[in-house]
């Protein structure tokens, strides 16, 4: 058995009576609405796939629900929850310029059980809205592609998702229709939900290659999704999405996607489609299994739209040529494949949600429209590492995104035509270390440190030289109600 440690920074955080700190069994459903296989899935997460675990309400006593309306609403099939996240982040070294920011996000969820409300068996409605404030560290200070925080977005109040889900075939088949986000169900690692950097949620290869970042935070798109779970750990799901949540992918200027859809209510239906599909096999998930749980996922995406060439204009000359039109040559489609391996490496004796988890995700997008053509991330997370801190989670992760060949050649063209020495984009990487401490169930604080290698994949800074590697330090606080 791995001995537990008692760190100086964990002392004094046990503010609840002993009875209130007793172990709470983990839920059967993990991030991405798949079977729980990770013993180190954290108490709270900012990733859309992570869902809602425990509420701070019991710790508030009579103030938690003074009118006692939550039980009454739940009995009628109405449930609501709120999650508030605030980040304080700064980069004392590297990037575009040194600085610090405060950003926060309030998330309001509403679930309606239509069986209880209207006798519609197997049907549920879900809505999710965001209230976003603050300034993004990556956008204004670091200049990196692997965005420093999952919650970074332009300030807005916006609808995120609104869908109806119908369960069929005794729960084996689920059909979901409405405004949806792919990052809640596809390309998800349960262990990776601990981390603050956005690439450990919706990876940079999809966020940078797909129009408007794809159907992922903070933008969703009209879609229909089918998920089939025949049993024995297997599941298959496929989603058909409108291919551009905001409408930014059109000839000419490419305006800011979030400003094109300020409220999340564009509900675009006429853009070329995006299809995402994946198959997952989860093993050792049955009660009493002797082996350690894990899962393997294989998936891919295909976008059927047209993209601007990264290198050539519409007449076939390099876009860096002074005689170029400025309009990219049309390139048909974008596609990619990915694989995920999520594995519990060690589980503490007698516990179902304490121990060491490991994940690795890899993706490849060979199409000529891809800014990122290869991506990999990996990491470890340990829940309950320190003595007396059974619900705390510590983690270390790494992500790497490679710039596609056409984008690299476009940089060479720029050097050739301008005659100016300048850096070329190649790849960007980030290392993250984090520790999530549970103050009370539903309330966490999370010190975080990141080191960004080649911000912007190696772009030039104001002085014409490649941006310096950046160190990012910060603290996150999360409250779930």
CA distance 348 to 2: 8
**pLDDT tens track, the chain, 481 positions:** 444 543 433 333 333 333 333 333 333 577 777 888 888 999 988 887 876 678 898 888 888 888 889 999 999 999 999 999 999 999 999 999 999 999 999 999 999 999 999 999 999 999 999 999 999 999 999 999 999 999 999 999 999 999 999 999 999 999 999 999 999 999 999 999 999 999 999 999 999 999 999 999 999 999 999 999 998 999 999 999 999 999 875 544 557 889 889 899 999 999 999 999 999 999 999 888 889 999 999 999 999 999 988 999 888 888 888 888 888 888 999 999 999 999 999 998 888 889 999 999 999 999 999 999 999 999 999 999 998 899 999 999 999 999 999 999 988 988 888 888 888 999 999 999 999 999 999 999 999 999 999 999 999 888 888 999 999 999 999 999 9
**Cβ contact 399:376 at 8 Å:** yes
- Calculate ∠ Cα 355-14-108, nearest 5°: 80
264-to-119, 215, 246, 459 alpha-carbon distances in Å: 30, 11, 9, 32
User: Are 440 and 446 within 8 A, CB to CB?
Assistant: no
Can you give the pLDDT at residue 461?
Answer: 85
The whole-angstrom distance between residue 69's C-alpha and the CA centroid of its chain comes to: 32
Per the CB < 8 A criterion, the answer to whether 83 and 233 are in contact is: no
CA distances from 363 to 203, 358, 373, 377, 402 (A): 9, 17, 8, 9, 11
Q: Given this model, what pLDDT does residue 305 score? A: 93
Burial class (CB within 10 angstroms; exposed 0-12, middle 13-18, buried 19+) of 418? exposed
Please give the helix or strand (H or E) that residue 74 lies within, else none: helix 69-75
pTM comes to: 0.90
Q: What angle do CA 301, 297, 344 make, to 5 degrees?
A: 145
């Amino acid at each position: 058995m791995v001995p537990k440690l008692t760190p100086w920074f964990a002392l004094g955080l046990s503010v609840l009576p002993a009875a209130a700190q007793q172990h709470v069994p983990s839920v059967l459903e993990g991030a991405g609405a798949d079977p729980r296989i990770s013993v180190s899935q954290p108490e709270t997460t900012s990733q859309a796939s992570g869902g809602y675990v425990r509420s701070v309400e019991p710790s508030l006593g009579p103030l938690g629900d003074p009118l006692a309306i939550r039980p009454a609403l739940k009995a009628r099939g109405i449930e609501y929850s709120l999650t508030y996240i605030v980040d304080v982040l700064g980069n004392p070294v590297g990037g575009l310029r040194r600085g610090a920011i405060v950003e926060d996000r309030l998330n309001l969820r509403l679930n309606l059980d239509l069986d209880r409300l209207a006798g519609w068996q197997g049907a549920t409605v879900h809505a999710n809205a965001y209230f976003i404030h603050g300034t993004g560290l990556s956008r204004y200070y670091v200049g990196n592609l692997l965005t420093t925080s999952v919650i970074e977005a332009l300030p807005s109040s916006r609808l995120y998702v609104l869908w109806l889900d119908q369960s069929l075939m005794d729960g084996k088949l689920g059909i979901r229709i409405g405004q949806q986000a792919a990052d809640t169900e596809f390309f998800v690692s349960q262990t990776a939900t601990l981390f603050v950097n956005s690439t450990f949620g919706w990876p940079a290869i999809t966020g940078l290659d797909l129009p408007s970042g794809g159907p992922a935070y903070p933008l969703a798109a009209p879609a229909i999704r089918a998920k089939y779970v025949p049993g024995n750990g297997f599941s298959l799901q496929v989603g058909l999405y409108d291919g551009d949540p905001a409408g930014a992918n059109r000839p000419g200027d490419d305006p800011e996607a979030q400003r094109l859809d300020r409220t999340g209510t564009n509900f675009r239906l006429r853009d070329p489609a995006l299809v995402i599909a994946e198959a997952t096999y989860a093993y050792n998930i049955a009660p009493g299994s002797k082996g350690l749980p894990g899962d393997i996922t294989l998936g891919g995406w295909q976008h059927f739209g047209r993209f601007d060439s990264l290198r050539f204009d519409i007449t076939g000359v390099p876009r860096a040529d002074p005689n170029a039109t400025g309009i990219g040559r049309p390139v048909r489609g974008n596609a990619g494949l990915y694989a995920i391996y999520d594995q519990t490496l060690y589980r503490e004796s007698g516990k179902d949600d304490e121990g060491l988890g490991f994940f690795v995700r890899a993706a490849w997008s060979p199409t000529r429209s891809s800014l990122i053509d290869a991506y990999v991330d990996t990491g470890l997370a340990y829940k309950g590492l320190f003595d007396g801190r059974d619900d705390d989670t510590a983690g270390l992760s790494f992500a790497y995104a490679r710039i596609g060949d056409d984008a690299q050649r476009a940089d060479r063209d720029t050097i050739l035509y301008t005659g100016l020495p300048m850096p070329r984009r190649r790849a960007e990487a980030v290392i993250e270390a984090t520790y999530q401490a549970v103050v009370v169930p539903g309330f966490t604080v999370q010190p975080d440190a990141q080191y960004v290698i080649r911000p912007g994949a190696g772009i030039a800074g104001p002085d014409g030289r490649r941006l310096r590697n950046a160190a990012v330090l910060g603290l996150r606080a999360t409250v779930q109600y």
